[in-house]
Structure 1
Amino acid sequence: MSTPFIRNHQYNVIKKQSEFLLKTLRTVADRRVLETVRFRAATIITEAFHYLTEDQQQLLEQISTFETAYDFQRYLDALEPYLESFPPITPKQIQKLFPKNKKLKVPNLASIDFRYVTYLSWVDIATNKLFIVYPFEGQFIGIEGRITPTNKKGYCLFCNRQHELAFFSVKTKPVNSSPDDYYAVGQYICMENQGCNQSITDTGSLEKFILSVRK
């Protein structure tokens, strides 16, 4: 049985390098350049992991040997059993993360393929609020804020792809402040979270933002 070790954002790194290497193979004839790109692709992938066993590293580094689109797709398909899913969570657990929202509308969790989720999010259209749930150090963090479409494209803080953006504003409380002392922290993020989850290759900016606004 395969032991999962690839998180969604790491799988996205692998997909991105597969696409880039295939494109290079189709457009570049110089063998020295190709070998450099092959080596670089394998290096970028392995560096996306804090720790790899020898077998895991060998599995990932196979990318440097492929030639055709079929080879790369078969490689990606073969990695799917190793995907580490978003931690199991129930609607009740989600509701506890947002205790002030008595009428919180939780998404249909059964419809989500959690293998491809780095952060769980959904929008309450009635209130224009975005809710995010993120697993961090063995626990879930929940944040909520107002979401405002910008009707323009730019780079998302979370996935760093150019896409249609929204402004996400979260009220938070300064350390050692009075109960009524709040300020807002805002960032531009993707309007469409599924595409964001499919594109995110590094959790650093996402975690920094979430930790800066959690109560």
Structure 2
Amino acid sequence: MCEPFIRGYQYNMIKNQADYVLHTLRTVGDPKVVAGVRSSAQAKVAELFPDIKDERISMLESVSELKTGEDLQKYVQALEPYLVAFPPITDQQIRKLFPKNKKLKLPDLAQVDFRYVSYLSWVDIATNKMFIVYHKDGAFVGVEGRFTETNKKSYCFVCNRYEKLALFSAITRKRPANSSPDYYKSVGNYVCMDGHTCNKNVTDIASLERFLASVLD
């Protein structure tokens, strides 16, 4: 078996395309439309891995050949051994990401299936704070911010799915030249209340990376 190469958000995207193929097959009678959807799904999955040219691409592109729910289940299960898990992280490493937070509430890492995690997040209800940990360029980065429930559903900026949202706002580290010592700027966006749900939904990590860059860089 090849080394794992499918990240969590890519896996979600592939599953979405597989579901769409099967849904079209069940609901559309026009063979040309079905063929178009099959071809589109195959292309979108291949686009996720532009550098892969070996037998793995054949496995991925077989999304266009699905005909039954059993086919879909077997296809998805065949991908799971190739999932790239979120890198192992310890409580101590997390604490180092948030050195100013002396009473940091830690997530229960034992309950997390890191194969399906694109980013790690948790909420401390006592302090109304949300914490995000992400791994990029070989290192972990952490952002903490205010967590405000909105009591409404809309589209999450990370996964772009219609879910229950909270406003997550963090103070950016960027400071204009000659700014006063009291200067600060808050960067906010609406994110899923449930990080587990968000990780199951996310198919493109670019929006999260842009947000983290706006806070950290």
Matches within 5 A, 1:17-166: 17-166=17-166
Q: Return the alpha-carbon distance in structure 1 between the equivalents of residues 206 and 212 of structure 2.
A: 10
Q: Is 176-185 or 116-125 further displaced after alignment?
A: 176-185
Contact kept in structure 1, 2:3 and 2:82, CA below 8 Å: yes
Q: Return the alpha-carbon distance in structure 2 between the equivalents of residues 154 and 92 of structure 1.
A: 35
Q: Secondary structure at the match of 1:85?
A: coil
Q: Secondary structure at the match of 2:188?
A: strand
Q: Return the alpha-carbon distance in structure 2 between the equivalents of residues 131 and 50 of structure 1.
A: 33
Q: Return the alpha-carbon distance in structure 2 between the equivalents of residues 51 and 203 of structure 1.
A: 19
Contact kept in structure 1, 2:18 and 2:66, CA below 8 Å: no
Q: Return the alpha-carbon distance in structure 2 between the equivalents of residues 167 and 105 of structure 1.
A: 19
CA apart distance, 1:2: 3.6
- Describe the superposition over 1:141-177 as per-residue Cα deviations: whole angstroms up to 9, x where unpaired: 1000001011111100000001111111111233344
Q: Return the alpha-carbon distance in structure 2 between the equivalents of residues 48 and 154 of structure 1.
A: 27
Q: Secondary structure at the match of 2:189?
A: strand
* Match of residue 200, structure 1, among 199, 202, 205: 202
Match of 1:174 in 2: 174
Q: Is 17-26 or 28-37 further displaced after alignment?
A: 28-37
- Pairwise CA RMSD of aligned residues? 1.2
Q: Return the alpha-carbon distance in structure 2 between the equivalents of residues 142 and 62 of structure 1.
A: 38
Q: Return the alpha-carbon distance in structure 1 between the equivalents of residues 212 and 71 of structure 2.
A: 38
Q: Return the alpha-carbon distance in structure 1 between the equivalents of residues 145 and 181 of structure 2.
A: 18
CA apart distance, 1:214: 1.6
Match of 1:10 in 2: 10
**Structure 1: which 5+ runs fail to align?**
none
Normalised to the residue count of structure 1, the TM-score between the two structures is 0.96
Q: Quick one: which amino acid aligns to residue 90 of structure 1?
A: T
CA apart distance, 1:180: 3.1
Q: Secondary structure at the match of 1:44?
A: helix
Q: Return the alpha-carbon distance in structure 2 between the equivalents of residues 209 and 49 of structure 1.
A: 24
Q: Return the alpha-carbon distance in structure 2 between the equivalents of residues 110 and 74 of structure 1.
A: 28
CA apart distance, 1:179: 4.2
Q: Secondary structure at the match of 1:88?
A: coil
Q: Quick one: which amino acid aligns to residue 171 of structure 2?
A: K
Q: Return the alpha-carbon distance in structure 1 between the equivalents of residues 87 and 123 of structure 2.
A: 21
Q: Return the alpha-carbon distance in structure 2 between the equivalents of residues 182 and 54 of structure 1.
A: 50
**Structure 2: which 5+ runs fail to align?**
none
Distance 1:187 1:9, change over 3 A: same
